[in-house]
Structure 1
Amino acid sequence: MGEMSAQFLYAKLGDAKIHFERALDCKHTEFDDLYPYMIEHPQFFWYKRYVAWSELLTIVKLCDELKVEWHEQFTDRQVEYIGKRVMSSRVLDEWYETNDAKEHAG
């Protein structure tokens, strides 16, 4: 894989991680702009998190298939969650290992 392609995937992986973390933190994402009328519905935030998680898993899968290292952008626990692929309540509650140990998405 060419250097430019690996850099492209790293950038997309970073974007997907930030998107997921912003969704976890109930912060504004691109998804809010696509469905502004949905913001009033409580289930919107669950769906928004699901979409962001799916995006993250898709980029990770591409990295795996193209043999691009992605683990270094995540904690060991986050790598474990990604490996299990299921967005469980544990992932939502414990993505940040402690509330003050990791800086939340900006």
Structure 2
Amino acid sequence: MGNEIPADFFKTKLSEAKIHFERALDCKHTEFDDLYPYMIEHPQFFWYKRYVAWSELLTIVKLCEELGEEWQQLFSQQQIEYIQKRVMSSKVLDYWFETNDSKEHVG
């Protein structure tokens, strides 16, 4: 009949969305670059790439909340506050990593 959703499905998707957003913040390669390679030549590209990754992260968080899945354990308290405000402000762009326990950007 229907397919069962693996227990760690949302945790995996949330982790992937977090990594995608962090790679976009660091201006590293993401699958978005493969989808729109011509945009690299345009100045607005990095802003748009970050916006897309932020939207993806917020969408996964919203699904987790609606389904009662835990999502906050992957984020610092400051990052949780940014996500709950939902607005990708310059503060989010500038300080996303500042409160991260590891203080390292994704590889």
Question: Which runs of structure 1 show a deviation greater than 4 angstroms over 4 or more consecutive aligned residues?
Answer: 98-101
Instruction: Provide the C-alpha distance between the structure 1 equivalents of 2:89 and 2:103, rounded to a whole number of angstroms.
Output: 20
Q: Which residue of 2 aligns with 1:66?
A: 67
Instruction: Provide the C-alpha distance between the structure 2 equivalents of 1:96 and 1:90, rounded to a whole number of angstroms.
Output: 11
Greater per-residue helix proportion: 1
Deviations 1:29-52 (CA, angstroms, capped at 9, x unpaired): 000000101101110000000000
State the TM-score, normalized to the length of structure 1.
0.92
Q: State the 1:9 CA deviation.
A: 0.4
Q: Which residue of 1 aligns with 2:18?
A: 17
Q: Is 2:98 the counterpart of 1:93?
A: no
Instruction: Provide the C-alpha distance between the structure 1 equivalents of 2:82 and 2:42, rounded to a whole number of angstroms.
Output: 27
Alpha-carbon RMSD: 1.8
Deviations 1:33-91 (CA, angstroms, capped at 9, x unpaired): 00101101110000000000000000000000000011000000000000000000000
Q: State the 1:105 CA deviation.
A: 1.1
The runs of 5 or more residues in structure 2 that have no matched partner are none
Matches within 5 A, 1:14-53: 14-53=15-54
Would the alpha carbon gap of residues 99 and 62 (structure 1) be closer, same or farther in structure 2, given more than 3 Å must change? closer
- Residue 39 of structure 1 aligns to a residue in which SS? helix
The runs of 5 or more residues in structure 1 that have no matched partner are none
Number of aligned pairs? 104
State the TM-score, normalized to the length of structure 2.
0.91
